Copies of this chain bind each other. A is one copy, B any other.
Amino acid sequence: MTQTMTASALTANAFAPFGEVLEVSGPPTKLINAGKCGRWHDRALLDFADARAGISIFRSECFALPYEFDLVERHPEGSQAFIPMSADPFLVIAAPDENGRPGPPVAFLTSGAQGINLRRNVWHGVLTPLGGPGLFAVIDRIGTTPNLEEYRYPEPFRVTA
């Protein structure tokens, strides 16, 4: 039986169990460029088991709500940051780990001015832009081993707005 779940607005607090929200919040760490630019400094916990960090570009098809899924995945070897290259919202699905398997998933909608950094080994859904070109810069571990674990829930979930 499909379970229905509601996506809530992405906030740093709500996302804290899974990683960091990459956004402007509060005053800038410092002003640069003669006061014309704010820098919110060092907002992601980059964490790589080995190898190194790199920047890749992802381009994904867009999806619509309600969105149905049964698959989540995680990357044991490193954190993974998604920076949208357009001001369009995307859907973020994450789940707590329960003894090596994902527990009940949660869903968030970004504001259009937010990226995320998924902590290393956090269960999450695949990239799901909801509009725009579907273009993202991804900062993750560059290595030679697979670094991927997948899990299919026995029943699908349907995410609504």
List residues of chain A with CB under 8 Å of any chain B CB: 22-24, 28-29, 32-34, 36-44, 46, 52-61, 81, 83-87, 113, 115, 117, 126-127, 132-135, 137-139, 142
Which of B46, B87, B127, B133 is within 8 Å of A133, CB to CB? B87
Copies in the complex: 2
Whether A55 contacts B22 by the Cβ 8 Å rule is yes
Q: Across the interface, do B83 and A83 meet the contact criterion of CB distance under 8 Å?
A: yes
Q: Which residues of B contact A113 (CB under 8 A)?
A: 85, 133, 135
CA distance A86 to B60 in the complex (A): 16
Nearest-Cβ distance from residue A123 to partner chain B, whole angstroms:
15
Tell me the smallest distance from the CB of A19 to a CB of chain B, in Å: 11
Q: Are B126 and A33 in contact (CB under 8 A)?
A: yes
Contacts known (A22-B137, A84-B85, A135-B24); A39 close to B58, Cβ less than 8 A: yes
Task: Given A83-B83, A84-B85, A86-B86, decide whether A57 and B24 contact each other with a Cβ distance below 8 A.
Answer: yes
Structural contact, B86 and A127, CB atoms closer than 8 A:
no
Q: Give the chain B neighbours of A53 by CB distance below 8 A.
A: 46, 53
Known: A85-B113, A113-B133. A33 touches B54 (CB 8 A): no
Does A58 lie within 8 Å of B46, measured CB to CB?
no
